[in-house]
Structure 1
Amino acid sequence: MARTGGMWAALALAGCAAVPAERPVSPAEPGAPLSVLRPPPPGARTAEAFDTTTPAERAAATAAPRAPEALLGRTVASLGDPADPGFWAVTPLVARVQPGRLVDSATGFSVLVELRPREAEAGAGTLVSLPALRALGVPLTALREISVFGAAP
């Protein structure tokens, strides 16, 4: 198991070079303050090192939604690129980038995220950022059914 984890960390680190330096990002909730996404430090090997979100950002992401929302569907979630910072989900349930919320069926926890479209050919499941999975209380190696909500029409 340790060897697999080490191999995973090495593969995850390989993608770090493609992550740009700190960049501002629009929040998942309209009207929320702009966040700065910080890439993980070189040599990051643990979930804590890859999760560069601040306590304030985590609190904002787990707050109740302020806008009406609608269930877009249920999907199986797995860990996305751990070197891509912030709260996001790449899902085939949306056709454009938009604010949304994920709810874990097992824990009942929810997190506000940026929903990003995923081509159907790329897979049927949803890739979720490391900070979002942690906020949901989902083990990083788990495949978990989640509900995806987006802005109400």
Structure 2
Amino acid sequence: MLPSALTALGLLAACAELQPASAPVEAPAAAAPTPAPQPVAQPAPPPPSGAASAEALDTTTPEQRAAATAAPEPVGEQRLGTTVASLGSPADPGLWIETPLVSSVAQGRVEATNGKSVKLELRPSGGASGSGSEISLPAMRLLEVPLTDLPELTVYRG
């Protein structure tokens, strides 16, 4: 063999010795039991084309309406403030409010001056503070306020 080939073989052998030894394989730790998945509420489907009445545009299920109006659990709630709300797009299904009182989507609750309360999705409106909010048709119906009113609502996150 040529001296340069011997040098190259020697360097390769030295590199192989520098490789770390593989760590012993340990048995996997016993996995903690996985909690049962919580049922995920299905979003309300969009209203049918040609729907013209509040009843036809409101595609929430009786179960969704019952859950939204269940007695609130104020533990951990944060009062964000009050807002005047108008009816949002009737074609946008579900229970929601678009408000400048939040900067990201969150779950929460609104309470009308008549004492009615609804759990819903809080959506940022991008508007300036004090610019008012828009609320979904199903939420207005559950709050029992006329669709043409501009109700004052107290908004809570949590």
TM-score by length of structure 2 reads 0.71
**Structure 2: runs of 5 or more not aligned:** 1-37
How far apart are the structure 1 equivalents of 2:121 and 2:106?
Answer: 6
Report the counterpart of residue 98 of structure 1 in structure 2.
Answer: 106
Q: CA deviation at 1:37?
A: 2.0
Report the counterpart of residue 97 of structure 2 in structure 1.
Answer: 89
Structure with more of its chain in strand, by fraction = 1
Q: Deviations over 1:38-65 (max 9, x none)?
A: 1111110000000001111100111123
Percent of matched pairs sharing the same residue: 54
Q: What amino acid maps onto 2:88 in structure 1?
A: G
Report the counterpart of residue 50 of structure 1 in structure 2.
Answer: 57
| Alpha carbons of structure 1 residues 104 and 32: separation in structure 2 relative to 1, 3 Å | farther
How far apart are the structure 1 equivalents of 2:157 and 2:129?
Answer: 21
Q: SS of the counterpart of 1:124?
A: coil
Q: What amino acid maps onto 1:136 in structure 2?
A: L
How many residues were matched structurally?
120
- The runs of 4+ residues in structure 1 deviating greater than 4 Å are none
1:77 pairs, out of 69, 77, 85, with 85
Q: CA deviation at 1:32?
A: 6.0
Report the counterpart of residue 8 of structure 1 in structure 2.
Answer: none
Structure 1 or 2, whichever has the larger Rg, is 2
1:41 pairs, out of 38, 48, 70, with 48
Report the counterpart of residue 148 of structure 1 in structure 2.
Answer: 155
Q: What amino acid maps onto 2:67 in structure 1?
A: A
How far apart are the structure 2 equivalents of 1:48 and 1:99?
Answer: 25
What does 1:61-140 correspond to in 2, within 5 Å? Answer: 61-66=68-73, 67-105=75-113, 107-120=114-127, 124-140=131-147
| Alpha carbons of structure 1 residues 124 and 83: separation in structure 2 relative to 1, 3 Å | same
CA contact (8 A) 2:44 2:61 kept: no
Q: Deviations over 1:38-94 (max 9, x none)?
A: 111111000000000111110011112345201100010110010000000000000
How far apart are the structure 2 equivalents of 1:139 and 1:33?
Answer: 30
